[in-house]
A = this chain, B = another copy of it.
């Protein structure tokens, strides 16, 4: 188990869906930052289940408490412990699963690895684990915003085959994204997406999709070649989110079909400095930020938990029919948006602190 991320802004998450609480520990947050639970709760609430018809019926308030590291509303340089209680533990929702690993779930691989089986099946593979990420991410984001003016906005750009227009160049914020329950700022397409999700829900099935994320106002010089390039760390962070199967930055897979002469971002004068005329690089060159917005896509598979009957086998090799009874999301994409934003914040704040050192030394 490896539950920590970051080198100087180190975040460790803890908790399963059936313990007393879930949360995170943030070690390395700079002292002197004003901070309270109110800075953290909004993103948690965008992540929580039960927020709309499109999400799971599990309804949890997910209220965060700061246990340490803040005095008189200000960080003091010490580790910040964050906890959210698990209120709605219906262990028996999963009780029927004993002996039959759920297809494309972590039940089987966890059991092979750890020998024991958590009552929820995959233990830390639970989506509830992302509460710690979002709590810590909100702190990271506050550092990025107040010190550097960095703005991070994610949205659902595709649900199944339904794609939104490319809006990576538009300058909207989270309030625009939140105008639809599906969190797609292209409102027409959002309605189509919502309908598709409803349909899948009624079928006891699930849908995947893509979250696109833009990070604006990122200074130049963030990213540590060769193994901690910003692209590498963003990719790792996103691929660590449950259900993620792909990541691309800038032109991504589509860019592989262009010629170098079409793909290269030529330089132009930008005020007192120079910058790229286009942004196929997605804000990075050689893994280091170049001052242009960071743009990336994250692929989420359709969630494995479905209501439909599945014909599978148990650990004993005997044929078995599996019918989902837990309360699951037909499509995690709307709730995944704050998780993606949070992971981007965690990566960037760590690179910011690391970059500071190098730049100071010149």
Instruction: Give how many A residues have a beta carbon under 8 Å from the other chain's beta carbons.
Output: 161
| A32 CB to nearest chain B CB (Å) | 5
Q: Report whether A210 and B253 are in contact in the complex, using a CB–CB cutoff of 8 Å.
A: yes
Binding-face segment, A1-9, A43-51, A52-60, A177-185: A1-9
- The CA of A228 and the CA of B291, in the complex, are separated in Å by 29
Identify which of B71, B79, B106 contacts A1 (C-beta below 8 A). Answer: B79
Interface string of A269-309 (1 = CB under 8 A from B): 10001101000111011111111000001011111111010
Identify which of B33, B118, B259 contacts A200 (C-beta below 8 A). Answer: B259
Q: Which residues of B contact A285 (CB under 8 A)?
A: 104-106, 108-109
Interface assignment of A338: CB less than 8 Å from any CB of chain B? no
Interface assignment of A195: CB less than 8 Å from any CB of chain B? no
Q: Which residues of B contact A220 (CB under 8 A)?
A: 109, 112-113
Identify which of B15, B68, B125 contacts A81 (C-beta below 8 A). Answer: B15
Q: Report whether A206 and B2 are in contact in the complex, using a CB–CB cutoff of 8 Å.
A: no
Interface assignment of A62: CB less than 8 Å from any CB of chain B? no
- The CA of A125 and the CA of B288, in the complex, are separated in Å by 10
- The CA of A15 and the CA of B236, in the complex, are separated in Å by 25
Interface assignment of A191: CB less than 8 Å from any CB of chain B? no
Q: Report whether A31 and B269 are in contact in the complex, using a CB–CB cutoff of 8 Å.
A: no
Taking A14-B27, A125-B286 as given, write out 7 further A-B residue pairs in contact, using a Cβ cutoff of 8 Å, ordered by the A residue number: A3-B227, A77-B114, A125-B225, A208-B258, A210-B253, A253-B299, A354-B357
Q: Which residues of B contact A154 (CB under 8 A)?
A: none
Given A12-B12, A12-B27, A258-B302, do A265 and B20 touch, yes or no (CB 8 Å)? no
Q: Which residues of B contact A112 (CB under 8 A)?
A: 220-221, 288, 290-291
Most chain B CB within a 10 A radius of its CB, from A23, A105, A106, A284: A106
Interface assignment of A175: CB less than 8 Å from any CB of chain B? no
- The CA of A147 and the CA of B187, in the complex, are separated in Å by 55
Identify the closest chain B residue to A206 (Cβ).
Answer: B260
Q: Report whether B160 and A32 are in contact in the complex, using a CB–CB cutoff of 8 Å.
A: no
Q: Report whether B226 and A13 are in contact in the complex, using a CB–CB cutoff of 8 Å.
A: yes
- The CA of A92 and the CA of B158, in the complex, are separated in Å by 48
Q: Report whether B226 and A129 are in contact in the complex, using a CB–CB cutoff of 8 Å.
A: yes
| A321 CB to nearest chain B CB (Å) | 11
Q: Which residues of B contact A274 (CB under 8 A)?
A: 101, 108, 313-315, 317
Q: Report whether A250 and B255 are in contact in the complex, using a CB–CB cutoff of 8 Å.
A: no
Interface assignment of A186: CB less than 8 Å from any CB of chain B? no
- The CA of A306 and the CA of B273, in the complex, are separated in Å by 25
Most chain B CB within a 10 A radius of its CB, from A147, A223, A263, A281: A263
